[in-house]
Amino acid sequence: MKIFAYGIRDDEKPSLKDWESKNPDIEVEYTQDLLTPETAKLAKGADSAVVYQQLDYTRDTLAALAEVGVKNLCLRNVGTDNIDFDAAKEFGFNISNVPVYSPNAIAEHSMIQLSRLLRRTKPMDEKVARHDLRWAPTIGREMRMQTVGIIGTGHIGRVAINILKGFGAKVIAYDKYPNAELQKEGLYVDSLDELFAQADAISLYVPGVPENHHLINKDSIAKMKDGVVLVNVARGNLMDIDAVIDGLNSGKISDFAMDVYEKEVGLFNEDWEGKQFPDPKIADLIARDNVLVTPHIAFYTTKAVSEMVHQSFDAAVSFAKGETPAIAVKY
């Protein structure tokens, strides 16, 4: 049996080596290149392909992979919104993802960023670096004094709620598919509008499916409290970034943390130091002392990376054996 992996990063290699040591009978080859119509031929002779990328899995890409006899596609991440499922179905692909690799990693990052915004650590750190050790005007706010709105109460959203409970914050939540335990606790509001009206801070944990596109927009921001704090570590397309920038400019949004961006492919996880930065909107946001920009790293912990590698390669083996792994995507 042979598995071919695309887009293997240096930080994934220790986990891959560990998986190989536990599966010595499986031949593994990999490349740092992403899966494209041009690189699909590298997987020729493999039983399954393991992948991770923000780049779309287009019809041409899937056709090229099927042409070399590979129809088992195992994602090392959770998001499947960049897959052409019509083409995948036509070519007979088996697909898996890693829906739960470390909810804690993403939830922790979102709450750390929210805490940093409330305590104004970015401007304070910049002052200290200049040896300006005065307190004012960088006074902070306490988490326990905030009403925090959680949109999406899946695995990640529920971890975020538990973290907020530890801080003593008041939590309200909205989800089209409520969690029974949270319902018993009475955390849900009946509508997004109700959440917008009540929350001092809002954090998103929903998928980037079409119905959620630009969930945060000019109209929804207008319904929020003045001085609202926004956090998005979920999907870039959940936010109309122009509307968010307008909200920051007007003061409607007091602070903003983003780990994802609608146009992040080709921008994030690249070194732009000493080069012309290609996105003036993100450059503007980075420069603001009330905005925290991170380049899609909420997931980026040793535990999460290990789970992403191990679960995806295990699924690749299952598919190759004619089995259906528990993490197979039903479509």
**What residues are labeled active site?**
235, 264, 296
Chain centroid, CA 292 distance in Å = 15
The C-alpha atoms of residue 68 and residue 55 are separated, in whole angstroms, by: 20
The C-alpha atoms of residue 29 and residue 40 are separated, in whole angstroms, by: 13
Indicate the residue type of 75.
L
Q: Which of 303, 297, 327, 289 is nearest to 130 (CA)?
A: 289
Cis previous bond, 137, omega within 30? yes
Q: Write out 181-218 in H/E/C secondary structure.
A: HHHHHCCECCCHHHHHHHCCEEEECCCCCHHHCCCECH
Sign of the CA dihedral with 238 first, then 190, 173, and 255 last: positive
The C-alpha atoms of residue 297 and residue 307 are separated, in whole angstroms, by: 15
